[in-house]
Amino acid sequence: MKVIITFLSLFLVVTFTMKAQDFTSSLYETYENYKELSLDKRRIKYAQLVPLINKLKSNPKFEVKKVGESIEGRDLSLISFGKGGTDIFLWSQMHGDEPTATEAIFDILNFFDSGDFTKEQKVILANTRLHFLPMLNPDGAEIYQRRNVLGVDINRDALRLQSPESRTLKGIRDSINPPFGFNLHDQSRYYNAERTPKPATISYLAPAFNYEKDINEVRARGMQVIVFMNDVIQNYAPGQVGRYSDAFELRAFGDNFMKWGTSSILIESGGYADDREKQEIRKLNYVSILSALYGIATGKYKDISLDRYERIPRNDRKLFDLKIENATYHLNGNDYIVDLGIHRQEIDDVSHTDFHYNSVIVDQGDLSTYYGYETFDATGYKIVPPKATEQAIPAISNVDRLMDYEKWVQAGFGYLRAQNVPKDKAHLPAKINLISQNFKLPNFELMVGKNPTFFLEKEGKRTHAVINGFLLDLSQPFQDQKFGNALIYR
């Protein structure tokens, strides 16, 4: 009899797991049906959310209420629905420059507004009541910065509650007293899953509630839900999940939510190859969160062993946009072998709606324990300084239409001199840097903090150019190669 009961229990677990996998795979495959198309880039603004929230206000499926205001007077709205007894609170963008989950929230709301997946929706809404607070820091989002306009990191304001946004977040938690809270963030694209070259595309954390990092029932629930989500994401980004540091932070909301009795689940959206605007990562948020809601509604996360949480690799920070390995660098009469780690840093435009790249060398030397989204083995290649043209080409009325520059790059020029360089531009799409007529090019040196523009040659022949941190193969057509932008110097 005992054997029969054990077999039946195993059968039920396996059956549920198969059904959950069918649901999550369907979520992934049908995602485009629910994606909120008006939000398609990271630098989203509060004004883009207003019509979406107003539309929900007129929809009887949702309850929308103003719960506070930002320092600059932008409304903070809570969107609630569901009739179950388990409250789940999800909030996003308490850091203004971390918008991925905000976009995913509106995808999720579109999902629940659809007539699809009726069985799964019925299960979720019959067993839970969901509360979404998108864009907690709309003032920071307006200028694409982490902190609010008071200069406060809202996620370090759980004790003093100096900011109105912080008081709103705490007030909602206290009024709802939810068993589960999802704290939705973005992290640097340079995190990797520990001891692997794979980016930490999604990182999870069930925060500690004390310095001893004890595990009580509240924290254990968060760990189990995280393992449930990790099992889902491994199907779409295998090996690309990390576990965020659980060092206790007395001032942080996630840690305090856990202390106050809410199982706090941190989701950090990191990096993914060829996904600078994080649209694939947004999709993974959508699938991960909906899967978690389903797992909580069914209660099957409770069957998960806690030791599986510890098996998720820790976050590490050992990724570069471009890593050049084993290059020969000639300095003061001697040859040295160096690796270079390059970050393509984003510089916001004045409206904070777009950006350009200003790349820097962030590390050099022995980088054998580091990785790159793009890696080039320069064994046998010599680093060669770039040249600047002496004669200035005529004035350029539109740098975006700079033509016939490839011959200069092929000849070893990284800088093209021009008359009357436009004053309102800092970058250009052409794959060569532009300098003003009187600009003096500094002596070339490889050094941390410097912009990476140079050439590689092998057996006396130039083979590759690095222009503003982007690697170009000189033997291939330029138009077929990935490139961000070059820079303008005056």
**pLDDT tens readout for residues 344-386:** 999 999 999 999 999 999 999 999 999 999 999 999 999 999 9
Contact 265, 225 (CB under 8 A): yes
Single residue among 316, 336, 362 that ends a domain in this structure: 316
Query: pLDDT digits over 181-226, tens only?
Result: 999 999 999 999 999 999 999 999 999 999 999 999 999 999 999 9
Q: How far apart are CA 147 and CA 149, in angstroms?
A: 7
HSE-CB of 179 using CA atoms within 13 angstroms: 15
In three-state form (DSSP H/G/I as H, E/B as E, the rest C), the secondary structure along 53-84 is: HHHHHCCCCCEEEEEEECCCCCEEEEEEECCC
What is the rounded radius of gyration, in angstroms, for the C-alpha atoms of the chain?
A: 26
- Domain that residue 149 falls in: 17-316
**Residue 460: is its pLDDT beyond 90?**
yes
pLDDT the model gives residue 299: 97
Query: pLDDT digits over 390-400, tens only?
Result: 999 887 777 77
pLDDT the model gives residue 20: 65
Single residue among 270, 300, 316 that ends a domain in this structure: 316
Residues 344, 291, single domain; the answer is: no
DSSP 3-state of 280 = helix
**What is the pLDDT of the chain when averaged over all its residues?**
95
List helix spans (H) across 338-431. Answer: 406-410
> What is the value of pTM for the model shown?
0.94
Single residue among 316, 338, 365 that ends a domain in this structure: 316
Residues 324, 303, single domain; the answer is: no
Residues 193, 106, single domain; the answer is: yes
Residues 196, 82, single domain; the answer is: yes
* Beta strands at 319-331 and 334-348: parallel, antiparallel or unpaired: antiparallel
How many domains in the chain? 2
Residue 477: which residues within 8 A CB-CB, separation 6 or more?
none
pLDDT band at residue 19 under the 50/70/90 scheme: low
Query: pLDDT digits over 245-267, tens only?
Result: 999 999 999 999 999 999 999 99
Q: Quick one: DSSP state of residue 306?
A: T
Calculate mean pLDDT across residues 312-336: 98
Residues 310, 324, single domain; the answer is: no
Contact 146, 153 (CB under 8 A): yes
Contact 434, 418 (CB under 8 A): yes
Contact 241, 230 (CB under 8 A): yes
Calculate mean pLDDT across residues 436-448: 95
Q: Which residues of 108-143 are buried (b: 16+ CB within 10 A; e: fewer)?
A: bbbbbeeeebeebbebbbebbbbbbbbbbbbbbbbe
Residues 405, 482, single domain; the answer is: yes
Residue 2 within any structural domain of the chain:
no
**CATH code where residue 405 lies:** 2.30.40.10
Query: pLDDT digits over 396-425, tens only?
Result: 777 777 888 999 999 999 999 999 888 889
Q: How far apart are CA 100 and CA 282, in angstroms?
A: 6
Q: How far apart are CA 437 and CA 439, in angstroms?
A: 6
Contact 147, 102 (CB under 8 A): no
Residues 310, 325, single domain; the answer is: no
Q: How far apart are CA 154 and CA 75, in angstroms?
A: 16
Q: How far apart are CA 88 and CA 86, in angstroms?
A: 6
Q: How far apart are CA 46 and CA 56, in angstroms?
A: 15
